[in-house]
Amino acid sequence: MIDPVDRRFDLVLFGATGFTGQRAARRLAAVRPDGLRVALAGRREAPLRELAEALGMDMIVADVGDPAAVDAMARSTRVLLSTAGPFAIHGDPVVDACAAASTHYADLTGEVPWMRRVIERHHGAATRSGALLVPASGFDSAPADLAVYLAADVAAQEGLQLESGRTVYRLRGGLNGGTLASVLHIFESATPRELADPFALIPGHECTSEERRQQRDPQWPEFDEVGGRWVAPFFMGPINRRVVQRSAHLRAERGAPMALGGGFRYDEFQSVSSGRGWLAARTTTLTLGAGQALLSTAVGRALFRRFGPAPGEGPSERVLSGGVTRSSTHFALSDGRRIEVRQDMRGDPGNAATVRILVETGLALAERPLVPGEGGVLTPTTALGAELVRRLRATGEHSLEVVER
């Protein structure tokens, strides 16, 4: 078990009545092992009680505006999972309470400026206590982290290094209101320099102008020679690249290099639905750029709020069931060979794959003891590594295949 203190629960899911939270709650009810003590938590008592009774779980009423209730929730459990975003608005009281209580924690955030703040505030203390604080444990950004982890393991076993990695995603799915609210808050609160820093999740790293140039996020379509088609920059690529950089930093810091070459570069792109040509990729890129330009203005954000899904809303069951989440990541090794990591995550990326990853992360954390000196604000693979790979494979809904090309 996680620590010698007798806590009431093994795992608590906070934000359980939201759009994503309800799906996570149902997933937990379906896959939790016998004997695992699980509770659902949130601020709205009536819908929380209805959901908890339907799933046969306990409940905890807690609002982030009530520090005593949040602290009591964190002290009651060995692991706390949160789906209550935007995390820059709602996340601090929860992660603060978990850090103070030495409670393992994971969430779905892709909010890089907020993750940076959590690292600066809690990494040192959590390292000492052994608490594992693992943001970005959903589609942001576990698939990218897993791909690099598996490829680096292959390289290390052969005494080699990874020189570069490139993921191309094929996606079909819908947007929920919580994700939109998080995106809007990022563009409202973060500076362009913060968003452009490739080492944003490595506090203390002084990014040189040369590093900034070499690690600049992709801006334009590129031809994917392996797939034989033009691809567009992936809109979540900047988030995932920074998580990969943090994984490499943490492993090197702890004396276990990630087998990355000194100039290692990781990029992400997305396939385009309307063909293999440059024009289709260019159109997708321009559409993405126009969306980001709108998000950078108050008027644009108001339009997204007016016409996008509100918090608690999301895609229909038809859209969710028809979702596609696949990725292919090609790596160049230092001896000139190439390997590929293929992932098929089954279902909608932001509402099915992300829930599956978060739940398996929570179940894995529930088996991890507190080991003083080995905690911290970590990434999915630096916290759980091979155990998370094993668990995702065992679901039968997330394939992770390494292929030498």
Q: If one looks up domain 9-139+353-394 in CATH, what number appears?
A: 3.40.50.720
Give CA–CA dist 183/296, Å, rounded: 11
Query: Whose CA is closest to 38, among 7, 62, 84?
Result: 7
Would you state the pLDDT for residue 5?
Answer: 58
Would you state the pLDDT for residue 113?
Answer: 94
Name the β-bridge partners of 81.
13, 106
**Model pTM score:** 0.94
Tens of each residue's pLDDT in the chain, 405 residues: 344 457 999 999 999 999 999 999 999 999 999 999 999 999 999 999 999 999 999 999 999 999 999 999 999 999 999 999 899 999 999 999 999 999 999 999 999 999 999 999 999 999 999 999 999 999 999 999 999 999 999 999 999 999 999 999 999 888 888 788 888 888 887 777 777 888 899 998 877 778 778 888 999 999 988 888 899 999 999 999 999 999 999 998 887 766 676 678 999 999 986 556 888 888 889 988 898 888 888 998 998 888 888 888 888 888 887 889 999 999 999 999 999 999 999 999 988 999 999 999 999 999 999 999 999 999 999 999 999 999 999 999 999 999 987
Name the β-bridge partners of 172.
324
Would you state the pLDDT for residue 70?
Answer: 98
Would you state the pLDDT for residue 2?
Answer: 41
Hey, what's the torsion of the CAs at 80, 83, 89, 92, to 10 degrees? Answer: 10
Report which residue type is found at 292. Q
